[in-house]
Amino acid sequence: MDMKIGVIKGDGIGPEIVDEAMKVLDRIGEVYGHSFSYTQLLMGGASIDVNGVPLTEETLQAAKESDAVLMGSIGGDAKTSPWYQLEPDKRPEAGLLKLRKGLNLFANLRPAVLYKELKGACPLKEEIADRGFDMMIMRELTGGLYFGKRSTEKVDGVLVAKDELTYSEEEIRRIAKRGFDIAMKRRKKVTSVDKANVLDSSRLWRKVVEEVAQDYPEVTLEHMLVDNCAMQLVKDPAQFDVILTENMFGDILSDEASMVTGSIGMLASASLNETKFGLYEPSGGSAPDIAGKGIANPIATILSAAMMLRYSFDLDKEADAVEAAVEKVLQDGYRTIDIMSEGMTQIGTQEMGDRICSCIA
């Protein structure tokens, strides 16, 4: 298979961690007979320095012409970086918002996996951490409360603020289909999270999700109220496979799920549109405090590349190989500084990439 990958290395640790993910992709290419070609795209601070804006139209177009985009992270230290003296719409993050919008990325995927080798970092009780967990939070990204009409006005001398929560059946259907498709590649269970005991938008959500479920008889569907889901994530996270939910609930639950894994350098993510295209990036930021030191953990970016193999290229076996290689390196006791613990061997960014590559054979 011949794939064209747009690469946004970005700022801070971005270039260091993306280099390792490309190394791993190239290793997969060698072993499984694929070729990945890369087009370097400038975004964020790196683009401001060269082009004066965080994302040019040409770069957006080049991203659209790729089969998928692999990204590091963008942004700098808000207190010291000159990028943050600019107007908000010229700052690094504005490039990312424009990219997401331009690519119509409406589905956000964030896996939360507790590796048994890292369970010491999990803040949950030992008996819960011992059971491990491996879930995928699928969040609708372009609708709901964050994109509704809003206003603040005085009514009878009192300030009143309003935010509108709107979902159409089409918006719900397209994310639900994506959620069930992802579940088919996993353990075939979808937990749809809503607040259907109170909200009309949630009742429509539930109705449409049930309709979509008819087309996926192999997938078990359950509904859960968002307040209960927030509790279950800390009480019994092992019960979840795919959590499918709307924008604001997903925003909150995905952060909660990430935090129970305990390690930011391990958290991959993807944002998908209606085609096979996706933007793949680690959940963490550009970590300016450790940039250029060669100590950043590249695993989240490498696992994001594995998601690209699975969800954009349908290369499931190859994605499994990357994930197994990451696990093997952890089993062998190698750690970057952020996940280091007593008795383990501390290594840097490049060595972590090299060791993961050497476990892919």
Residue 195 falls in the annotated catalytic set: yes
Q: Does 286 sit near ligand NAD (CB under 6 A)?
A: yes
Per-residue x/- track, 208-247, ligand NAD (CB under 6 A): ----------------------------------------
Q: CB of residue 355 vs ligand NAD: minimum separation in angstroms?
A: 16
Closer to ligand NAD by Cβ: residue 250 or 285:
285
Residue 227 falls in the annotated catalytic set: yes
**Given 215, 236, 255, 314, the catalytic residue:** 255
Q: Does 264 sit near ligand NAD (CB under 6 A)?
A: yes
CB atoms closer than 10 angstroms to residue 127: 7
Specify whether the CB–CB gap between 258 and 123 falls below 8 A: no
* DSSP letter (8 states) at residue 84: G
**Given 32, 38, 84, 146, the catalytic residue:** 146
Angstrom CA distances, 279 to 104, 319, 341, stand at 11, 16, 32
Residue 288 CB partners (closer than 8 Å, separation 6+):
11, 12, 75, 76, 77, 81
Q: Which of 153, 289, 343, 361 binds ligand NAD (CB under 6 A)?
A: 289
Q: Does 66 sit near ligand NAD (CB under 6 A)?
A: no
* DSSP letter (8 states) at residue 240: -
Closer to ligand NAD by Cβ: residue 293 or 317:
293
* DSSP letter (8 states) at residue 142: S
Residue 273 to residue 177: CA distance in whole angstroms? 12
Name the H helices within the chain.
Answer: 14-32, 45-51, 57-64, 92-102, 126-131, 169-184, 200-213, 226-235, 247-261, 299-307, 316-331, 349-358
Q: Which of 76, 95, 278, 353 binds ligand NAD (CB under 6 A)?
A: 76
Q: Does 284 sit near ligand NAD (CB under 6 A)?
A: yes
Closer to ligand NAD by Cβ: residue 75 or 237:
75
How many Cα atoms occupy the beta-carbon half-sphere of 288 within 13 Å?
Answer: 10
Task: Give me the active site residues, please.
Answer: 146, 195, 227, 251, 255
User: Using CB under 6 A as the criterion, which residues of the chain lie in contact with ligand NAD when the complex forms?
Assistant: 13, 17, 73-76, 78, 93, 96, 264-265, 281, 284-290, 296-297, 300, 338
